[in-house]
Structures are given as C-alpha cells and as structure tokens.
C-alpha cells in the first residue's frame, strides 16, 4: 500500500467538524428525550380500554419499526411538500428522529407495563387512586425501571442513526465529514477520525444515560450500592 496518510489538511476543517459534532449531540438529545416522551405516551395509550387510540399506536409502532429511518426521512422531507407541508431539513429530521425513536421506545415500555401485575392496578383502584395517580405512582415507575437497559441500547442506536440526516444535507458530524472529504480528497483520514469520534460518543452516551437512570430510579441505585 503506497498511500501516505495526511491528517494535516483536516485541521482547516476542525470548526466544521466541531459544529457538526454539536449538531449530532443536539439531534441525539432531541431524538432520545422526545422519543422517550412520545414512547411512554404511546405505551400508555396502547393499554387504554378504547380501541381507537390502541389502533393508532399499533399503526404508528408497526410502520416505524418496519420501514427504514432513511425512507422515513425522505417521506417527511421530500414527500410532504407534495401535499403542501414544507419543512426545513432540520425540522424534518427532528420529526423523523422523534417519531422513529418513539415507536421503538413505545414497544419496549409496553412490554414493561404488561409485566406489571394486574393486582397492583386493582390495589391502587381499591385505594381510591385516580387513573393518573395510578399511572404516575403505580404503573410507570416499576415498568420504566424494568425496561431501562433496552431503552438505553435503543437510544444509543438512535444516536448512531442520526448520521443518516446527512443524506438530506444536514451538516451533522457525518455531513461535515462528507463536505471535508469532497473538498480535500483525504477521504480515508476524515472518515477514520469521524469513526473514532462516534465510537467515543457511543461510550459517553451510554455512560450518561446509565448515570441518569441511576439518579432517577432509587431502587436500582440502592441495589447497586448495596452490592458494592
């Protein structure tokens, strides 16, 4: 292999890469927290007794989980202007990421809710708790704690798939790398650097989310501290 790696030319693109990195982090945060909020809402809706919200949630979850994120972004960004809804690239990817993550999280959280025993809900009812009180104090805390690990894995995967937004010209980390590589032709160097940044980001996100989980769920914190 008579190829000399030259990382020098990349230094000029450092500002773009750094701003791309911030955009990737921002997109991931919106996708993760918007997705978790939407997911919990959908999961609660899917346990409701009337069939219409159940059907809508089912539809949303199945569509999101059985089509690629890239196609979802294309439908929202390129497709919706056909029916008069024109969104900026950034808005479209925000919507796509939240809807996408929401669908996956909803399915995970639903599993957690269904694992909560029916008698707990009945006990709450007999104590005279309202529907929202039951949800807030009886159903959701153990359900969310149970599904915390899969939700973190899903959110880290979402962070990685934010790279797809570069396909419609949003300059996140991958988008910045695409521009830098087409202007300097140091393709391998730039993608190797970006790859490393993503691997590091992956560990950082996992750590931050796990710490957040330990701060929120007192029971697993106590279990962890008790073991140590």
Partner 1 sequence: MRTFGSPEFLFIVYALRWTLTLTVLAFVGGGIMGIVLALLRIARIRAFSAITTFYMQVIQGLPLLVLLFLCYYAPSLFGIEIAALTAAAIALTINSSAFLGAIWESALRAIPKAQWESADALALTPYKTLRFVIAPQAIRLALPSTVGFLVQIIKQTSLASIIGFIEITRAGQLVSNATFEPLKAFLSVAALYFAVCFPLTQLSLWLERRTACRGART
By CB under 8 A, which span of 27-35, 49-57, 138-146, 194-202 interacts with partner 1?
194-202
State which of residues 21, 25, 37, 80 lies at the interface with partner 1 (CB under 8 A): 80
State which of residues 69, 96, 138, 151 lies at the interface with partner 1 (CB under 8 A): 69
Q: What whole-number distance in Å separates Cα of residue 16 and Cα of residue 35?
A: 27
Residues in the chain: 228
Nearer to partner 1 by Cβ, of 41 and 74: the residue is 74
The number of residues that bind partner 1 (CB under 8 A) is 40
State which of residues 11, 49, 52, 82 lies at the interface with partner 1 (CB under 8 A): 82
User: Interface with partner 1 includes 74 (CB under 8 A)?
Assistant: yes
Distances 26 to 73, 98, 207 between C-alpha atoms, Å: 17, 12, 17
Nearer to partner 1 by Cβ, of 79 and 141: the residue is 79
State which of residues 174, 176, 179, 217 lies at the interface with partner 1 (CB under 8 A): 174
Burial class of 50 by CB neighbour count within 10 A (0 to 12, 13 to 18, 19+) = exposed
Q: What whole-number distance in Å separates Cα of residue 198 and Cα of residue 131?
A: 43
User: Interface with partner 1 includes 87 (CB under 8 A)?
Assistant: no
Q: Are 151 and 106 in contact (CB under 8 A)?
A: no
Nearer to partner 1 by Cβ, of 55 and 63: the residue is 63
Q: What whole-number distance in Å separates Cα of residue 85 and Cα of residue 227?
A: 54
Q: What whole-number distance in Å separates Cα of residue 129 and Cα of residue 127?
A: 6
Q: What whole-number distance in Å separates Cα of residue 41 and Cα of residue 38?
A: 5
Q: What whole-number distance in Å separates Cα of residue 98 and Cα of residue 27?
A: 9
State which of residues 32, 97, 166, 209 lies at the interface with partner 1 (CB under 8 A): 166
Q: Closest distance between partner 1 and the C-beta of residue 150, in Å? A: 12
Residues that bind partner 1 (CB under 8 A): 1, 3, 62-63, 65-72, 74-75, 78-83, 160-164, 166-167, 174, 177, 187-188, 191-192, 194-195, 198-199, 201-203
């Amino acid at each position: 292999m008579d190829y000399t790696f030259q990382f020098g030319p990349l230094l000029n693109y450092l500002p773009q890469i750094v701003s791309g990195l911030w955009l990737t982090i921002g997109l991931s945060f919106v996708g993760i927290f918007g997705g978790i909020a939407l997911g919990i809402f959908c999961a609660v809706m899917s346990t409701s007794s009337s069939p219409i919200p159940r059907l809508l949630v089912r539809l949303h979850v199945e569509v999101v989980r059985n089509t690629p994120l890239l196609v979802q972004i294309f439908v929202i960004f390129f497709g919706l202007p056909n029916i008069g809804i024109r969104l900026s690239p950034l808005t479209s990817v925000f919507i796509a990421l939240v809807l996408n993550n929401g669908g996956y999280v909803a399915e995970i959280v639903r599993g957690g809710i269904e694992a909560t025993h029916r008698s707990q809900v009945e006990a709450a009812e007999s104590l005279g708790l309202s529907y929202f009180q039951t949800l807030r104090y009886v159903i959701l805390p153990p359900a969310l704690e149970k599904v915390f690990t899969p939700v973190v894995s899903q959110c880290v995967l979402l962070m990685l798939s934010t790279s797809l937004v570069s396909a419609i010209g949003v300059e996140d980390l991958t988008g910045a790398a695409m521009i830098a590589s087409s202007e300097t032709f140091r393709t391998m160097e730039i993608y190797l650097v970006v790859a490393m940044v993503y691997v590091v980001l992956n560990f950082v996100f996992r750590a931050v989310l796990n710490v957040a989980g330990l701060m929120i769920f007192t029971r697993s914190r106590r279990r962890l501290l008790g073991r140590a």
